[in-house]
Chains A and B, each alone.
Chain A
Amino acid sequence: MNKPTVAVIFGSRSAEHDVSIVTALASVIKPLELSKQYNVVPVYIAKDGRWFSDPKLKDIQLFSSGAIDEFMRKSKPVALEFGKGLKLIQSGGMRNRSTTIDIVFPATHGTYGEDGTLMGVLEMANVPFVGCDVAASAIAMDKVLSKQQAIANNILTPKFVYFTRHDFARQNGSLLNKIEKDLQYPLFVKPAHLGSSIGITRVMNRNELENAIEVALHYDSKALVEEGVSNLIEVTQPIIGNDNPQLAHLEQPLTQAEDFFDFDTKYMKGGKKGKGGAKTDSRGAQGYSKIPADLPTDLYEKAQSIAVEVYRAVGCSGIARIDMLIDSKSGQVYFNEINPMPGSLYSHNWNKAGVSNINLVTRLVELAIEKHAEKQKIATTFSTNYLKQF
């Protein structure tokens, strides 16, 4: 029996391009291949938007050594063909080579991928894919929209003000006044669409605020400023599943009050020097987190319950990670943000919850197939006499 072909798509025009490569190669392709259940086809979207597919793209050395530039110079990009599913077309020689894709595993982070754009392509191709659909991805990747969605579902979230680059350019002073009037320092300034904590700044005064907004708007056309939470405990909850979400452990990044769970802490070897109680482990979040979070049982369960509410409110499926902020004195749990494709799938947490890397990726593929099968039951066309009148 032929094994189904899974295309793992990664890279893309995103500030998190490099993180995506690591997620795809180490946390998706490797365990998928080891499962021996699938043919695995890597699909790399370069920073300039060209798509490439070649077995060589499974090797991290190609990227870490910089040989990827030479590879792209010599290789022809692939084209996509829709119709009966998705096909990758590689032109060459006398005739084109076509690869039929049965399932897609998007391993992209940030823009032009995780934000729903890629999911739109995949839904057009009517191919099963892992993770959230277009709408959920778009909402999840827009911090403003996801907060509004939470508020609409009576889920607490820190007070915030949002604006576009255009708004800020037009009404700089009055916008800063409004922020200072509505919110209290310390404040967090964030680009609306970026993940991995890129462009996020903690500010204590108006001067820092103005600079931080400029940084955030350098990365994004929309930004938000939100109030910090007192007596802060940050937690994050990885979830997989469609209609019946399955939870890993609630995880507690070991950051301090004046700090936050930023890009360095999450991904860079050694993390932030001297901060966050960093020990000897250098595996990003895994080395700087408590798993499970050290919380009283009722607060732990409350946070997990809110994470599931958010997952459902946003309409997530497949996989996501919900970040929350807890005021340890009041016991209030605030929704912070949602990440529809957690870096490295947060496999370190799933491992501790008893799910191996192989079981995690194969389960995600199964969930994609289930979701797709369910969707096929929905009628998307129907016959009318409408055109006959013309």
Chain B
Amino acid sequence: MRLLGFFMPKMPVSLVYMLQSVEYDPWGFVSWLKELPNLRRIMYRRTLHFTKKAKALVLFTYTIWSALLLVAVLLAVVDNYVFAAAIVLLSPLVCVIALFIAVLIARVFITGPREKKLIAASEKKFAVHPAIKIAVAGSYGKTTMKELLATVLAEGKQVAATPGNLNVPISHARWLNRLEGNEEVLIIEYGEGAPGDVARFAHTTHPNIGVITGLAPAHLDRYPSLHAAGDDIFSLADYLGDSNTYVNGDSVAAQDFIKSEQNVYTEKGIGDWNIQDVQVGYEGIKFVMQRGDDILELHSELLGRHQIGPLAAVASIALKVGLTRDQVEAGIAKTKPFEHRLQPRPLNGAWILDDTYNGNIDGIRAGLALLKELPANRKVYVTPGLVDQGVETGPVHREMGRLIAAANPDQVVLMQNSAASLIRAGLEEAGYQGGVLVEADPLQFYTNLEHFVAAGDLVLMQNDWTDNYR
């Protein structure tokens, strides 16, 4: 039945959607195709974004397909039905191969060389740019840290930060070209994806300060192990020196890499600064940072105790680059939850915490700690599980199950996929007694959430499970 999808009229659109979903990586495209996806349902959650590149590829595929079908018709006209049928049957395969070759050729001969040139030019521009350059690296929390730094430092400095999640050298280069040149602080997010990436990014962007937001299993399809990912991320400290490196001390997996000479931030403080009088609620967090007689009274709309460490790091960096205490307090007060990152929204009198951009076990731990801490009549935890966990998939999901059980929500909602049984195993190991619902159709569940909740409920939704995972 799945093969039938390759013969439907919108097959070329579906194939290009797949390519777009894997960022036009030809090998990612092939590995998805190996799973023989159902093309009729592949654009269920999202649809193709018709960029110029996507339009060209769709047109290219339709042209090839039409040509093949035309040949088949001509063969049928001259009574060569066997060849005609063979061409019709093989035409989708030919389209797939043609698309793969087209994308591969473009990458090797056109986009690849062009990007190399741009990146090389950016290295020279970064080297001479007078701004303080702050690099943000880590398996998770990078975008949040970058936005926090940008929000707070903007209280006293001219700041520019890499936009969205454009965090690879070619995006850094294009972004740098758009800058005015009068910036006082540049914040650069590093999106590591394979061994050696972070060191390479550092040599290109020449940072003065680095923030390592945490280490957790992510992209383990390309890193041989979690330790290898840690080696890569912590190569930033090798480049900058420990005193210029800020590290999230609450990250469990990062412990083996952390050195006391580094600026380690935790929810207890950073350096000589201690954290006191913490209040956590739906309206955000409040705490006091104290160092001797120095006191910072901080309030943020960010949710969760785990945000205290990053906020303390941001406050510390802000003071280091020359902001006043008042500017730091005002800047921290402007920090708000980011979209899909523990973002609260009311529904039928309930609170929905949208943490669907979270994709790591430390984020799971933090979200569940918040779920446990906040008051509610009924607590519901929703997750499809984590993707890109590689060899850690089994242990990570069982650990998730145990963490969920420890937070003890009234109801757990899982999605019918390969992670569900692993999470259930973890829940059972930890003796979870609440209700477990396994949803076959995540989209239906998310769009009908209003039927599941009532006033006083708290629903935490974590992680995302995109179309290219099962």
Chain A residues within 8 Å of B, Cβ to Cβ: 30-31, 34, 36, 350-359
Residue of chain A at shortest CB distance from B438: A36
Verify B455–A352 contact, CB threshold 8 A.
Answer: yes
Verify A356–B456 contact, CB threshold 8 A.
Answer: no
Asked if B452 CB lies within 8 Å of chain A CBs, one says yes
**Cβ of A8 to closest chain B Cβ, rounded Å:** 15
Asked if B451 CB lies within 8 Å of chain A CBs, one says yes
Asked if B450 CB lies within 8 Å of chain A CBs, one says yes
Interface code B338-356, partner A: CB below 8 Å = 1, 0 otherwise? Answer: 0000000000110000000
Verify A34–B455 contact, CB threshold 8 A.
Answer: no
Interface residues of B in 274-292 (CB under 8 A from A): none
**Cβ of A53 to closest chain B Cβ, rounded Å:** 23
23 contacts between A and B (CB under 8 A): A30-B448, A34-B444, A34-B448, A34-B452, A36-B437, A351-B453, A351-B454, A351-B455, A352-B348, A352-B454, A353-B454, A354-B377, A354-B378, A354-B457, A356-B348, A356-B453, A356-B454, A356-B457, A357-B450, A357-B451, A357-B452, A358-B451, A358-B452
- Complex Cα gap A34–B444 (Å): 9
- Complex Cα gap A65–B95 (Å): 40
Q: Tell me whether A34 and B349 are in contact in the complex, defined as CB-CB below 8 angstroms, given that A354-B377, A356-B457 are known contacts.
A: no
- Complex Cα gap A359–B435 (Å): 14
Residue of chain A at shortest CB distance from B456: A354
Residue in contact with A356 in the complex, picked from B444, B445, B452, CB distance below 8 Å:
B452
- Complex Cα gap A353–B444 (Å): 25
- Complex Cα gap A354–B348 (Å): 9
| Closest CB pairs A-B (n = 9) | A356-B454, A357-B451, A351-B348, A31-B451, A351-B454, A352-B455, A354-B456, A354-B454, A34-B451
**Cβ of B375 to closest chain A Cβ, rounded Å:** 13
- Complex Cα gap A165–B378 (Å): 53
Residue of chain A at shortest CB distance from B347: A351
Residue of chain A at shortest CB distance from B450: A357
Residue of chain A at shortest CB distance from B349: A352
Residue in contact with B455 in the complex, picked from A30, A31, A353, A357, CB distance below 8 Å:
A353
- Complex Cα gap A356–B444 (Å): 17
Contacts of A30 in B (CB 8 A): 448, 451
Verify B451–A356 contact, CB threshold 8 A.
Answer: yes
**Cβ of B464 to closest chain A Cβ, rounded Å:** 21
- Complex Cα gap A31–B456 (Å): 19
- Complex Cα gap A355–B454 (Å): 5
Contacts of B444 in A (CB 8 A): 34
**Cβ of A127 to closest chain B Cβ, rounded Å:** 25
Verify B451–A354 contact, CB threshold 8 A.
Answer: no
Q: How many A-B residue pairs have CB under 8 A?
A: 42
Looking at chain B, what size class is its interface with the partner chain?
10 to 19
Contacts of A358 in B (CB 8 A): 451-452
- Complex Cα gap A387–B437 (Å): 58
Contacts of A31 in B (CB 8 A): 451
Verify B454–A359 contact, CB threshold 8 A.
Answer: yes
- Complex Cα gap A351–B457 (Å): 10
Interface-centre pick from B348, B448, B451, B456 (highest chain A CB count, 10 A):
B451
Q: Tell me whether A351 and B349 are in contact in the complex, defined as CB-CB below 8 angstroms, given that A36-B437, A359-B454 are known contacts.
A: yes
Residue of chain A at shortest CB distance from B439: A36
Q: Given A352-B455, A353-B455, A356-B453, 20 other A-B contacts at CB below 8 A?
A: A30-B451, A34-B445, A34-B448, A34-B452, A36-B437, A350-B454, A351-B348, A351-B349, A351-B453, A352-B348, A352-B349, A353-B454, A354-B349, A354-B378, A354-B454, A354-B455, A356-B451, A356-B452, A356-B454, A356-B457
**Cβ of B377 to closest chain A Cβ, rounded Å:** 6
Residue of chain B at shortest CB distance from A357: B451
**Cβ of B69 to closest chain A Cβ, rounded Å:** 35
- Complex Cα gap A165–B429 (Å): 72
- Complex Cα gap A36–B451 (Å): 13
- Complex Cα gap A354–B378 (Å): 9
Interface code B408-449, partner A: CB below 8 Å = 1, 0 otherwise? Answer: 000000000000000000000000000001000000110010
**Cβ of B349 to closest chain A Cβ, rounded Å:** 5
Interface residues of B in 134-149 (CB under 8 A from A): none
Contacts of A355 in B (CB 8 A): 454
**Cβ of B247 to closest chain A Cβ, rounded Å:** 43
Interface residues of B in 349-380 (CB under 8 A from A): 349, 377-378
Interface-centre pick from A36, A353, A356 (highest chain B CB count, 10 A):
A356
Residue of chain B at shortest CB distance from A355: B454
Interface-centre pick from A31, A352, A354, A355 (highest chain B CB count, 10 A):
A354
Contacts of B455 in A (CB 8 A): 351-354
- Complex Cα gap A30–B452 (Å): 11
Residue of chain B at shortest CB distance from A249: B455
**Cβ of B350 to closest chain A Cβ, rounded Å:** 8
- Complex Cα gap A36–B456 (Å): 23
Residue of chain B at shortest CB distance from A36: B437
Contacts of B457 in A (CB 8 A): 354, 356
- Complex Cα gap A215–B103 (Å): 73
Residue of chain A at shortest CB distance from B437: A36
- Complex Cα gap A315–B452 (Å): 31
Contacts of A353 in B (CB 8 A): 454-455
Contacts of B377 in A (CB 8 A): 354
Contacts of B448 in A (CB 8 A): 30, 34
Contacts of B378 in A (CB 8 A): 354
- Complex Cα gap A266–B38 (Å): 45
**Cβ of A216 to closest chain B Cβ, rounded Å:** 37
**Cβ of A290 to closest chain B Cβ, rounded Å:** 14
- Complex Cα gap A359–B451 (Å): 9
Residue of chain B at shortest CB distance from A348: B348
**Cβ of B435 to closest chain A Cβ, rounded Å:** 12
Residue of chain B at shortest CB distance from A359: B454
Contacts of A357 in B (CB 8 A): 450-452, 454
- Complex Cα gap A355–B457 (Å): 9
**Cβ of B420 to closest chain A Cβ, rounded Å:** 15
- Complex Cα gap A31–B348 (Å): 15
Contacts of A352 in B (CB 8 A): 348-349, 454-455
- Complex Cα gap A275–B378 (Å): 37
Contacts of B453 in A (CB 8 A): 351, 356
Interface-centre pick from A31, A34, A350, A359 (highest chain B CB count, 10 A):
A34
**Cβ of A301 to closest chain B Cβ, rounded Å:** 20
**Cβ of A246 to closest chain B Cβ, rounded Å:** 13
Contacts of A34 in B (CB 8 A): 444-445, 448, 451-452
Interface residues of B in 228-279 (CB under 8 A from A): none
**Cβ of B195 to closest chain A Cβ, rounded Å:** 45
**Cβ of B34 to closest chain A Cβ, rounded Å:** 33
Residue of chain B at shortest CB distance from A35: B451
Contacts of B452 in A (CB 8 A): 34, 356-358
- Complex Cα gap A375–B236 (Å): 75
- Complex Cα gap A352–B445 (Å): 21
- Complex Cα gap A30–B451 (Å): 8
- Complex Cα gap A351–B453 (Å): 7
Contacts of B451 in A (CB 8 A): 30-31, 34, 356-358
- Complex Cα gap A34–B457 (Å): 18
**Cβ of B405 to closest chain A Cβ, rounded Å:** 22
Contacts of A36 in B (CB 8 A): 437
Interface residues of B in 113-152 (CB under 8 A from A): none
- Complex Cα gap A359–B378 (Å): 12
Contacts of B349 in A (CB 8 A): 351-352, 354
Contacts of A351 in B (CB 8 A): 348-349, 453-455
Contacts of A354 in B (CB 8 A): 349, 377-378, 454-457
- Complex Cα gap A36–B439 (Å): 9
Contacts of B445 in A (CB 8 A): 34
